[in-house]
Each structure stands twice: as C-alpha cells, then as structure tokens.
Amino acid sequence: MNIHSTVPHAVASVPSASNNATIWSVDAIEALFGLPFNDLIWQAQSVHRAHFDPNGVQLSTLLSVKTGGCPEDCGYCPQSIRHPTAVAQQAILSTEEVLSAARAAKAAGASRFCMGAAWRGPKERDLDAVIDMIKGVSALGLETCATLGMLKPAQAERLKQAGLDYYNHNLDTAPEFYGDIIHTRTYQDRLDTLASVRQSGMHVCCGGIVGMGENRRMRAGLLSELANLDPAPESVPINLLVQVEGTPLYGTEALDPLEFVRTIACARITMPTSRVRLSAGRETLSDEIQALCFLAGANSIFYGERLLTTGNPDVERDRRLFHRLGLHAE
C-alpha cells in the first residue's frame, strides 16, 4: 500500500479493539467506492439506522473569531498571507461579539457553536481570550468546539479544563497527496495535535476536503486514516473544496456530485458511530444531492449563512429542505 511511512494506520482489514471493530485498509475502502451506487447507499443507510435516528440531523454554527493573516500555505485556504485573496485580516473578536453570535445561533436552532481562528497554533495570550469565549458559550447551554491550529499537550489540557467539548483539526487529505496541498506543516504534526486532544479527554472533530484534484484512491486513503484513529473521531466534517480566487487550487476541476455522495456513504460505513457532517461547499450542492447525502448517512451540517470566510445555505433554505425531507434537528 502506498501510504506515508509515518502514518501506520492503513493496514489490511482485521478485527481490532477500536470502537469500529475493524481496521479499514485503503483497498477495502476503495472497493466500497466501487460498489454499484444503489448497493453502496443501501449499505450506508443500513449502518446509519443501526446507530442513529435516520431522520435526525445535528446543527452546528461556525464563527471566525480571528480572520486572515495565517502563516500557513494550505492551497485551499483564502486566509493564508501567502495567497493574494480578498480576505482581509481582522483582529480577534471580543467575547461579547462571540456571545452575541452564539445566542443568535442557539435561537436559530443550533446545538453546537464552533469557533475558528487563523493561527498556526495559539499563543498563550490567544488561548486566554478563547477560554473566556468557551466559558461564555458553554454557559448558554451550547456544545463548544474550537479550531485554533496545532496544539501542545498543555494547551489541550487548558482547553479541556475550560469546558471545551470538541476540538477540530482536519487531516485534509490522504498522506500521499498531502504534500501537494500543504508545505508548512507535516501530516505527523496534525496527528500529534489529535493525540494531544484525545489525551486531554476532549472529543475529536476531524475530517478532510475532497475535490482538490485527488483521485478516488486518495479519497479512500483519507477515510482510512480517519477510520483507523483509535477511537475514530466523534465528528467527521466532509468538506467539498470551495474555490476562492487567489488560492492555488482555484480552477481545479469540480468533483462529480455523486462522487461526493459516495464519499459520505463510505465515511458512514467505515465510521458507523461518528457524526458525519456536510461542511464547506454545501452551498453549491442541490437539494437533491443533499438529500442523497442524508440518505448516505450524513447527520450533521454547518448551519447559518457563513462559515469562516465562505458562504453557506441560509437558515430558511435549510428549514425548507428539512421540511421537504421530513428531517428534524437534534
């Protein structure tokens, strides 16, 4: 198998003591991708019904609490100082600004509030400000999530002690494609942060981005890495590349929407107890493709008109879609 030498997770499918009970090889997941579409969806829906309410969807709202100026060079990201995009650098928001947005998200029906900051990793003074936000949002009765870049073990412990429920840190893509997208941090850096988060006792939110020019085997490789984390992430955001002018990936050939649905289905089968979230790029998906994604096992969405710097379906559109499909918020 063609995997990164520092990431030993993708091996043949054998029984395991992990929460998934199976080690998912890249070959096995690629075979899932290759099933006839109806067979794949049936299998994914069967797994989904065994573990979740088939018509329940968890709603998360995402807010950028510090925008732009990131020193990393991620090829998809408009917040990098290395890419000539229209995203302006903004200082960290005040706690009251964040709490105002959290109150609005709760009133609209969200159950989790996610705070993102464009840092390589937080400095201690940054962490102080975010901890105040976490405590305030938690006091509103919302689950809390943060994505702040790479964490040291002691920083993860501080966030846990502050009451942070989830930490998001995506693997982005398969190990063998990673170097084509990002050069300023390694795959192992990402795994080290995930290990710190898990060791602290926080829940892990970890997924990736598809449509960046990777092939199907690479999509299988990403899912293999995620599924074989022990335990698998509690939340798995699957992002469809949002192409932003000025980023290196602008102009990449668009992914076939049905291939995106297949990715959701394979994520559900390989991570049966994880929340699989439709994340960035949902604004470009038709209602019909989103319906197929829910059928394939997606049971979480980012909810609200904006993500970090890109658009998202507005609340009323989502409410209409949920009504048409008979879905309800959890």
Write out the catalytic residue numbers: 70, 74, 77, 114, 145, 205, 277
CA distances from 216 to 101, 129, 182, 205, 219 (A): 38, 41, 19, 23, 5
Q: 94, 107, 190, 188: which is closest to 141 by C-alpha?
A: 107
Q: 111, 96, 162, 17: which is closest to 300 by C-alpha?
A: 111
Q: How many CA atoms lie within 13 A of 201 on its CB side?
A: 8
State how far the Cα of 151 lies from the Cα of 156, in Å rounded to an integer: 6
State how far the Cα of 188 lies from the Cα of 169, in Å rounded to an integer: 12
Q: Give the end-to-end CA distance of the chain in Å, rounded to a whole number.
A: 39
